[in-house]
Amino acid sequence: MEIVLLGSSGSIGSQTLDVARRHKILIKGLAVKSSVQTLELQAREFNPHCVCVYDENYYTDLKTRLADTKIEVLCGNEGMCKLAAMSCDMVVNAVVGMAGLEPTLAAIEAGNKIALANKETLAAGGELVMKCAKEKMLEIIPIDSEHSAIFQCLEGNNRKDAVKLILTASGGAFYGYSKERLRTVTKQEALHNPNWSMGAKVTVDSATLMNKGLEFIEAVRLFGMKPEQIEVVVHRQSIIHSAVEFADGSVIAQLGVPDMHVPIQYALLHPARPESGVKRLSFTEMDTLTFEKPDEETFTCLPAAKKAVNMGNNACAVLNAANEAAVEAFLEDKIEFFMISELVNDALENVKSNRSVTLKTIFEDSNAAMEYVRSKL
């Protein structure tokens, strides 16, 4: 098996390389945003045909680093799309943010199977991506743990018999906090997730519950469900990674110790389930499992996402882009934590999106939402 991996220096990217090492999966292409030092090390270990750095300012640096090899060096969005379209068994898209959208479409256009960890792709451009994938009769295989769980629960069943998806949420770093208490939390606290080890953007999204909001939209798009067929349940222990209820009343869930190596490996090797090296789940030693409704009064990004998906058109693109800009501002210490959800809700209210959903309008509306947020800083 030979894969192209976009976003190889991030959390999902490096764990994908762990899976590749364990199962002798060949790497045909690697791409990063700007971490050329990491990319050089990875390229020397996996010897891909081609590498790419998204940020063109690092192109010369990368080219110099790999001057003694035969590896082709590309850069920019064009380079990412070229990599995504290389002939291979699967493209793993682990890019963070909207930058992942065009490479996803390029991979589909080339007829490549995609394992998708880039949730912004489906949040912002889900309708377009799913339409293109359907035309090419390609399945998008989710890497996100919740969607992988749902994908696994659906396997071997008739999809039309699935009546409800139960999307579990860890509750994030500020579970149980009041609105008042949220006003004083720090960046360091926001960057701590109790169960999952992830990148900065998704950890902050997890603390605001926007992560679950984006995953809600992702589930609507990926599995063709109506928003009212998806229930978000806070499950602090992250043992049940999500579940599906079928028409006969059966609920099938996927369980395990939280470790992203499992959904990554499943995306790459399914239906095979070889040894993954992860910690085993012990039923007699695990904590009590708890389930609650999310606090949508305090964490308003989640209801905003539900609203966006019901608004249709490019409202989800506006929501996603406003969030990207707000989280970036928070990580740069420009705004307080509680401002993220306020800015996202304001943008959704005030940025009017285009009626048609095309790549052009998705970017137009995303840019308008980012501009709107930046004008409020």
> Whose Cβ is closer to Mg ion: residue 324's or residue 365's?
324
Shortest distance in whole angstroms from residue 232 CB to Mg ion? 12
> Whose Cβ is closer to Mg ion: residue 144's or residue 328's?
144
Shortest distance in whole angstroms from residue 85 CB to Mg ion? 27
Give φ, ψ of 79 to 5 degrees: -65, -40
> Whose Cβ is closer to Mg ion: residue 144's or residue 324's?
144
Shortest distance in whole angstroms from residue 145 CB to Mg ion? 5
- Residues lying near Mg ion in the complex (CB under 5 A): 144-146
Shortest distance in whole angstroms from residue 136 CB to Mg ion? 26
> Whose Cβ is closer to Mg ion: residue 112's or residue 323's?
323
Q: Using CA atoms, how far apart are residues 225 and 167, in angstroms rounded to an integer?
A: 12
Shortest distance in whole angstroms from residue 51 CB to Mg ion? 28
Q: Using CA atoms, how far apart are residues 41 and 315, in angstroms rounded to an integer?
A: 40
Q: Using CA atoms, how far apart are residues 339 and 332, in angstroms rounded to an integer?
A: 13
Residue nearest to Mg ion (CB): 144
Shortest distance in whole angstroms from residue 203 CB to Mg ion? 11
> Whose Cβ is closer to Mg ion: residue 127's or residue 144's?
144
> Whose Cβ is closer to Mg ion: residue 214's or residue 317's?
214
> Whose Cβ is closer to Mg ion: residue 211's or residue 366's?
211
Shortest distance in whole angstroms from residue 148 CB to Mg ion? 9
- The answer to whether the beta carbons of residues 65 and 36 sit under 8 Å apart is yes
Give φ, ψ of 252 to 5 degrees: -110, 125
**Cis, peptide link before residue 227, omega less than 30° from 0:** no
Please classify residue 230 by burial: count the beta carbons closer than 10 Å to its beta carbon, then call 0-12 exposed, 13-18 middle and 19+ buried: buried
Q: Max alpha carbon distance in the chain (Å)?
A: 61
Nearest residue to 234 via CA among 151, 177, 282? 177
- The answer to whether the beta carbons of residues 213 and 341 sit under 8 Å apart is no
Bridge partner residues of 4 (DSSP): 29, 91
Amino acid identity of 29?
G
